[in-house]
Structure 1
Amino acid sequence: MGLDVFGVGYEGLDLDGLVSKLRLRGVRTLVDVRLNPISRKRGLSKTALRTRLVSEDIGYRHLPALGNPRDNREGFADVVGPVALGARERFAALMETEAAHDALDEIITLSEFGTVALLCFEQDETRCHRELVISAVRERFASA
């Protein structure tokens, strides 16, 4: 059994564009890793997004334990340097909580039923905490 998990950012997409991207990748479950799943973009806040995904036969899970705190997000705008390193180290420490471990395990379980996409806003995964979440999922899966 393999692990089929990837990241998707909705920056530059509307709801239809996001759903199209998910359908093209054969996503079975979308896991929202935003700390607060709200958006100024129509249809991309938690309730509206879940409703649309269910109508498309795509599951939705919000796992706030894998969200990046607002005051740590700016550091992800850079990929090198002390601010970038500090933000990533802070988020990595948050990933060591029991709640985060449980959430990572849930993603692995969900992947047993099909492709899982991890959602956040940022299109460029190297500038998003989602990259660290995916790495942590892969590490836990490999060590299981």
Structure 2
Amino acid sequence: MAGRPSTDHLQHRQGARLAAQLRSLREHKGLSRMQLAEAAGISPRTLERIETAATTAPGLFTVAALAGPLGVSLDDLVAGASTAGTPGIVSAGYEGRSIEDFVQALAGSGVRTVADVRLNAISRKKGFSKSRLTAALAEAGIGYRHLPALGNPKDNRPPFWEGRPAEGREVFRRLLAHDPAPDALEELFTLAARQSVAVLCFEQDEERCHRKVICDIARTDHGLDVGALPM
């Protein structure tokens, strides 16, 4: 049926989520890939293929063997790979993160789409400019949308840099009433009502970022769940 994702596409997304979940759990346990493979009784090459999503349909017994050393149940692993997070907004700043850590945190939180609210989707930080970020997210089965209409203009950035964020937020809130921002907000909130969407900008602390205004509107005006990306 038109508009439905293919079985291959769904399998790829599930495999990518499982890969990110396994990497995150393994690193949290402080295990190397070799150590986890040995504990699970599988080859390091097999684990590498699963963790890099080179294989999107690992055998059930292989996944079960990995669950034990990672301290989770098979049901937890399967559920994490098969379903995305609950609909709503995840406030996500990439300050202080590597692209690998950032993408793993998104996948572990069940994020299905990243909405980039930077005015210009470029960054001096490796991996966070538009093309490379899109590619890294795609490998984890996460979509990307750039919404420059929700970016903070350059002349409203000094208040955030100079410790006057409330002033900057008030200016930005007024700007959101003018085209093309309302259409971009509608696009974002409609998507977030169906799936988990990360609102991305640089600052780790939402209080120092214009995205707080977007998150506040999502929560108070649209009744959407809003959370923060775990560190």
Q: What TM-score, normalized to structure 2?
A: 0.56
* Contact 2:159–2:167 under 8 Å retained in 1: yes
Q: Does 1:102 align with 2:183?
A: yes
Find the counterpart in structure 2 of residue 120 from structure 1.
Answer: 201
Equivalent residue of 1:12, what SS?
coil
Query: Hey, what does 2:98 align to over in structure 1?
Result: 14
CA RMSD of aligned residues (A): 1.7
Match of residue 55 from structure 1: 139
Name stretches of at least 5 consecutive residues in structure 2 with no aligned partner: 1-85, 224-231
1:33 aligns with 117
Identity %: 47
Shift, 1:78, TM fit: 5.5
Answer 1 or 2: higher relative contact order, Cα 8 Å, separation at least 6. Answer: 1
Specify whether residues 33 and 61 from structure 1 end up closer, same or farther in structure 2 by C-alpha distance, changes over 3 A only. same
Verify: 1:129 aligned to 2:210, yes or no.
yes
CA–CA separation in structure 1 for the residues paired with 2:136 and 2:113: 13
| Matches of 1:102 and 1:139, distance apart in 2 | 18
Separation in structure 1 between the aligned mates of residue 175 and residue 221 of structure 2, nearest angstrom: 15
Q: Which moved more, 1:85-94 or 1:39-48?
A: 85-94
Corresponding residue for 1:91? 172
Matched residue of 2:189: which SS? helix
Q: Between Structure 1 and Structure 2, how many residues are aligned?
A: 138
Gaps of 5+ in 1: none
- Higher fraction of strand: 1
Contact 1:32–1:118, Cα closer than 8 Å, also in 2: yes
C-alpha distance in structure 2 between counterparts of 1:136 and 1:106, whole Å: 14
SS at match of 2:97: coil
Residue 3 of structure 1: CA displacement?
4.8
What residue in structure 1 maps to residue 153 of structure 2?
A: 69
For 1:100, the aligned partner's letter is A
Answering whether residue 219 of structure 2 is matched by residue 138 of structure 1, we say yes
1:20-61 deviation per Cα after TM superposition (whole angstroms, max 9, x unaligned): 110111100000000011001111001110111112110100
Instruction: Supply the distance in 1 between the matched residues of 2:135 and 2:87 (Cα, whole angstroms).
Output: 26
Q: Spell out, residue by residue over 1:99-134, the C-alpha distance to the aligned partner (whole angstroms, 9 max, x if none).
A: 211111111221243210000000000110010011
Contact residue 165 and residue 207 of structure 2 kept, 8 A? no
* TM norm structure 1: 0.87
Query: Partners of 1:112 and 1:141 in 2: how far apart?
Result: 9
